[in-house]
Structure 1
Amino acid sequence: MTAPADSGTATGGAAVPQHLGIILDGNRRWAGARGLSPVDGHRAGFARIPEVLGWCEDAGIGTVTLWMLSTENMRRAPAEVAALESIIYATVEDLRARGRWRLNRVGVPGHPWRRFLDPLDRMIAATAGVDGPLANLAVCYGGKQEIVDACRTLLSTYASARCSPADAARRLTAGAVSEVISNGVPAPDLVIRTSGEQRTSGFLLWSGMHTEYAFTSVYWPDFSRRELSEALAQYRTSSAGHVRATAA
């Protein structure tokens, strides 16, 4: 999910971002504030996804990347992880059944969570023919791991081509890594993070080098069209300022 290396900012002055990333943060805190379990918070948060994707579609956003589950999340208590897996299955099946979005998963290959990820990837693959916006589902995703996996993919390709170590090192460029990570998707123009945390946590670490960020204190289950509209308005203002500065 990135533009070619060293191609300048992702923010090109468009009124609407081509690619929006969202860090779905605050499910557990939302639940805790209501005396509910963390699983109740996850269930409430993931239930919002189809509606939010609909708002993004209405706004003309062609690609949305949702950080649904990190590699660190997989190290939580087994009961919570099992519940998250079940909720994610149900969410993806719902999105597939609606037939409005072409789904794609970004994150680690199946190993070491093949039992969970293989069925998920099959559900996602069933949407390949959908003629609609792209929803990238970041499941078992980590920003550093994404870069490592891209380098491994390239090195495996070079080894298959019987490249020497020196030739492989020469070919392993920022542009080559970008091409693997992007998979033809434009760089994210804007990332929204809910819950009041003002940090990236490594989300879209490589491709988000020039990405605008919008932070809201609202927990993800309470995220509304208003928060989306405010983030898009902030992006338009920032984008217009960038265009003026570039023109000057």
Structure 2
Amino acid sequence: MNPVQPQHVGIVLDGNRRWAKEHGLSASDGHRIGFGRIPEVLSWCEASQIPLVTLWMLSTENLRRDPAEVEALMEIITGAVLQLSWSGRWRVRHLGEADALPSRVAQAVRHAEQASASAPTALTVNLAIAYGGRVEITSAVRRLMAGWAREGIAADEAAKQLTVEDLCRAINGGQPDLDLLIRTSGERRSSGFLLWGGVGAELWFTPAYWPDFTRQHLTQALTHYREAHRR
């Protein structure tokens, strides 16, 4: 394996709404077309021997958009998740607050995780849906505290025991830290994506909107990563 090949690539699927506006389409059309690109892009990642890809599909902030748009977006996300499940090509894992999702979306995600658990693939796909970097860390701390409480460990004693490794396990779940973050649409910020695991990630931004993301863009991002590590 290439010694400078990223083991974990994260992609912020940004620009669907702006792409739709420029093409005279609705925001829902933009999301539908954008999320419809996911299997194709994942096939490029698989061909590039990337073992782990995290796709940020919906942030916790997105849930505060116009209710009608959020409702339509949930239907589109459900369809995209089920499409991945039916394909049987990749292992699927959810990142985010399942409790914040409508039951039909949460059910689709659980089905995709269960149905793909034994998929014969070298690629695992994290679907970041209702995800926020600060929320992820907060939820991990709460899980740790709840576990200590069940063991009868007092809060002050638990605070003394807490280590960076504890948080790594609680947040990453045994997965590697992020190596390369790709963001489309021209925005040049992480917006808290994989805030803990992405602390050492290389960042690559492209002005292309997500529906226009090509294999050449992925190649450019991987080249940027390799060149940065050679330096």
TM-score by length of 2: 0.95
- Deviations 1:191-239 (CA, angstroms, capped at 9, x unpaired): 1000000000000001100000000000000000010000111111001
CA–CA distance in structure 2, aligned partners of residues 113 and 89 of structure 1: 10
Residues 114 and 85 (structure 1), Cα distance of their counterparts in 2 relative to 1, 3 Å cut = closer
Does the alignment pair 1:140 with 2:125? no
Report what 2:78 is aligned to: 89
Instruction: Give, as a single letter, the amino acid of the residue that structure 1 aligns with 2:201.
Output: T
Residue number among 130, 146, 156 corresponding to 1:156 in the alignment: 146
Report what 1:30 is aligned to: 19
- Deviations 1:152-182 (CA, angstroms, capped at 9, x unpaired): 0000000000001221111222221111111
Residue ranges of structure 1 left out of the alignment (5+ in a row): 1-12, 242-248
Q: Deviation of residue 93 (structure 1)? A: 1.1
CA–CA distance in structure 1, aligned partners of residues 65 and 104 of structure 2: 15
Residue number among 161, 166, 181 corresponding to 1:171 in the alignment: 161
Report what 1:236 is aligned to: 226
- Deviations 1:20-76 (CA, angstroms, capped at 9, x unpaired): 000000000000111111111101100100000000000000000000000111111
Instruction: Give, as a single letter, the amino acid of the residue that structure 1 aligns with 2:215.
Output: R
CA–CA distance in structure 1, aligned partners of residues 67 and 40 of structure 2: 29
- What is the aligned-residue RMSD (CA, Å)? 1.2
Q: How does 1:8-87 map to 2 (within 5 A)?
A: 14-87=3-76
Report what 2:108 is aligned to: 120
3-state SS of paired residue (2:46): helix
Does the alignment pair 1:199 with 2:194? no
| Mapped contact 1:22–1:66 kept (Cα < 8 A) | yes
3-state SS of paired residue (2:181): strand
Identity %: 49
Residue ranges of structure 2 left out of the alignment (5+ in a row): none
| Mapped contact 1:19–1:187 kept (Cα < 8 A) | yes
Q: Which has the higher contact order (CA 8 A, sep 6+)?
A: 1
How many residues align? The count is: 228
CA–CA distance in structure 2, aligned partners of residues 239 and 189 of structure 1: 11
